[in-house]
Amino acid sequence: MSDTNIANASVLEKTGKKWDAWFKLLDRWGAANKTHKETAKHLAAEHGLSAWWSQMVTVEYERARGLRKVNERAGGYAFSVSRTIAAPRRRIYDAFTDAKELSRWFTHDAKVEARVGGRYTNGDGDSGTFLTLKPPSVVRFTWENAKHAPGSVVEVRIDAKDRGRAVATLTHSKLRTAREVKDLRDGWSWAMDSLRSYLEPGEPIQHEDWVRAKRGR
């Protein structure tokens, strides 16, 4: 599996090829000698990939061929965390855009103005502006927590799966350092586990409990 946490099966389903097949195709095209922009444009124009998947395949190719550091992308560092959740896509979308829902599984005292250009805040000091809202599939917003990677961007993509399940992939980008990646990856891994637990059994996971379980205590 790629370090993006996006499995080969998901890549195959959404793009028609697994990671290795894309890498070999780009090798033949000569992507190692192309710019990031040229490769992404080629994938979109010649292979019909969406803008998001064009960027993702390009980034993963560059990483696989040693053309960039792990988690480094155009415009800074980034990482993704993905979970398969037994819930409808709209239920997952609402969990990120409804203040009451957010306050149950992620934070407390959330306030949300769910429109493009609208603001969100919560009791943990997180805040930002919604950049994209496409129910039930995409939520994208700025991340302006003054203590944790201000000026970065979070995107949640929600893809339908089988048997009433959906795959939620959260990508945090425009990070400045590898240290920010490490710190935030742990936080978002807990959050996505809490979201899944909340939507499936109905009980969120407290961060302290998640940390203890991770440490084997």
pLDDT range class, residue 104, cuts 50, 70, 90: very high
At 73 the pLDDT is 55
179 with 201, same domain? yes
Q: Tell me if 168 is assigned to some domain.
A: yes
Q: How far apart are CA 200 and CA 142, in angstroms?
A: 28
Same domain, 133 and 35: no
For position 67, what pLDDT does the model report? Answer: 74
Mean pLDDT on 110-130: 97
* 85 in the same domain as 63: no
For residue range 149-195, what is the model confidence (pLDDT) as tens digits?
899 999 999 999 988 999 999 999 989 888 888 889 999 999 999 99
Can you tell me which residue has the tokens 């993702």?
56
Are residues 89 and 60 part of one domain?
no
Residues 26 and 104 in one domain: no
182 compared with 75, residue with greater pLDDT: 182
- 2 in any annotated domain: no
Are 96 and 174 in the same domain? yes
Q: What is the CATH number of the domain that holds 155?
A: 3.30.530.20
Where a domain ends, among 43, 68, 93?
A: 68
Do 90 and 115 belong to one domain?
Answer: yes
Question: End of a domain among 42, 68, 94?
Answer: 68
Assess whether 192 and 168 both reside in one domain.
yes
- Label each residue of the chain as H, E or C: CCCCCCCHHHHHHHHCCCHHHHHHHHHHHCHHHCCHHHHHHHHHHHHCCCHHHHHHHHHHHHHHCCCCCCCEECCEEEEEEEEEECCCHHHHHHHHHCHHHHHHHCCCCCEECCCCCCEEECCCCCEEEEEEEECCCEEEEEECCCCCCCCEEEEEEEEECCCCCEEEEEEEEEECCHHHHHHHHHHHHHHHHHHHHHHCCCCCCCHHHHHHHHCCC
| Higher pLDDT among residues 142 and 178, named by residue | 142
In a domain, 106, yes or no: yes
> Are the CB atoms for 124 and 108 separated by under 8 Å?
yes
CB 61 within 8 A of CB 23: yes
Question: Does one domain contain both 128 and 57?
Answer: no
Give pLDDT, residue 56: 86
Beta strands in 16-118 (DSSP E): 72-73, 76-85, 111-112
Same domain? For 22 and 93 the reply is: no
Q: What is the pLDDT of residues 1-28, one digit of tens each?
A: 344 557 788 889 889 999 999 999 999 9
CB 172 within 8 A of CB 153: yes
pLDDT for position 69: 59
Same domain, 91 and 52: no
Measured CA to CA, the distance from residue 44 to residue 53 in angstroms comes to 8
What is the pLDDT confidence band of residue 72, given thresholds at 50, 70 and 90? low
Contact predicate 62/77, CB 8 Å: no
- Say how many C-beta atoms besides its own lie within 10 A of residue 95's C-beta: 22
pTM, entire model: 0.68
DSSP 70: T
Q: Which amino acid is it at 122? A: N
Number of domains in the chain: 2
Residue 49 lies in a domain: yes
Residue 112 lies in a domain: yes
Contact, 128 vs 119, CB < 8 A? yes
Per-residue model confidence (pLDDT) at position 74: 55
With a pLDDT cut of 70, the percent of the chain lying above it is 94
Which residue segment(s) compose the domain that 29 sits in? Answer: 8-68
Same domain, 64 and 102: no
pLDDT (0 to 100) of residue 209: 93
Task: Look at residue 21 in the predicted model and tell me its pLDDT.
Answer: 95
